[in-house]
């Protein structure tokens, strides 16, 4: 019986991971993820747990309990996979912008969340990506800078977790940058799109213009844990 239970757990984890694997391309592109994939993982886990319990001859009560536990495990696996995928996508953007000569930095933070067994697990999560918009590139209407801003817009629009974009540019460049950002947010593609919040930040004299893409819920990083 123990061997059958261990085999069942292996199938359960494999089923959840396989279900979530289709949510992202190998390069990290695809819709985000912690919220969506946590829900998907919970659903797949609960169903798989119920089916596997019945397969080994469990009672109705035992199988209902198994489904609840499996759902919790699936929710954690999905959430973790989503956070890892978000970070991979941000890192892919960072690499692309570096190659184009555009200054960029991605911030991360550690988050704790209980797994299916109630044990706290730590995941390195994407906190935000800041893109520098050098004045020389803005003045020249650099195609590389335009593409970088558009890709930043795509990143913001493809998160299932609500995102915002902070924009700090001189008034003379504001319309141009917002147009590039809008192009990226409305670019065609398979990813689910949302309308990120855009917040203008006053440009300080002598400071490098920038934009920043980040989850709206920054409090999660202050708390360091997720329920």
pLDDT digits (tens, 9 = 90+) for 83-134: 898 899 999 999 999 999 999 999 999 999 888 778 888 999 999 999 999 9
**Phi, psi angle pair for 212, to nearest 5°:** -135, 130
How far is C-alpha 172 from the geometric centre of its chain's CA atoms?
Answer: 33
Do the strands 104-114 and 197-200 form a parallel or antiparallel pair, or are they unpaired? unpaired
Q: pTM (2 decimals)?
A: 0.70
Query: Could you tell me which residue, 92 or 71, shows the higher pLDDT?
Result: 92
The full set of domain ranges for the chain reads 2-87, 88-223
**pLDDT of res. 53:** 46
Over residues 177-192, the mean pLDDT reads 85
Residue 220 has pLDDT above 60, yes or no: yes
**CA torsion, points 81, 85, 87, 90, in degrees to nearest 10?**
-170
| Banded pLDDT at 80 (limits 50, 70, 90) | confident
| pLDDT value, residue 178 | 98
Q: Tell whether the torsion through CA atoms of 159, 29, 193 and 98 is positive or negative.
A: positive
Q: How confident is the model at residue 59 (pLDDT cuts 50, 70, 90)?
A: low
CATH number for domain 88-223, candidates 3.30.1330, 2.40.50, 2.60.120, 3.90.1170: 3.30.1330
């Amino acid at each position: 019986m123990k061997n059958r239970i261990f085999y069942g757990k292996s199938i359960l984890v494999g089923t959840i991971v396989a279900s979530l694997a289709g949510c992202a391309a190998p390069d990290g592109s695809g819709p985000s993820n912690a919220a969506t994939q946590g829900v998907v993982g919970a659903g797949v886990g609960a169903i798989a747990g119920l089916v596997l319990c019945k397969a080994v001859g469990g009672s109705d009560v035992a199988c209902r309990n198994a489904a609840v536990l499996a759902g919790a495990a699936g929710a954690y696996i999905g959430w973790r996979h989503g956070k890892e995928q978000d970070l991979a996508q941000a890192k892919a953007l960072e690499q692309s912008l570096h190659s184009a000569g555009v200054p960029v930095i991605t911030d991360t933070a550690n988050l704790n969340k209980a797994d299916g067994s109630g044990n706290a697990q730590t995941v390195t999560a994407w906190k935000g990506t800041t893109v520098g918009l050098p004045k020389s590139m803005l003045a020249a209407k650099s195609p590389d800078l335009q593409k970088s801003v558009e890709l930043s817009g795509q990143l913001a629009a493809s998160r299932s977790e609500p995102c915002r974009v902070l924009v700090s540019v001189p008034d003379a460049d504001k319309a141009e940058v917002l147009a590039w950002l809008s192009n990226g947010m409305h670019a065609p593609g398979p990813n689910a799109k949302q309308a990120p919040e855009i917040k203008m930040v006053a440009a300080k004299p002598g400071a490098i213009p920038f934009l920043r893409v980040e989850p709206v819920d920054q409090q999660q990083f202050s708390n360091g844990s997720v329920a």
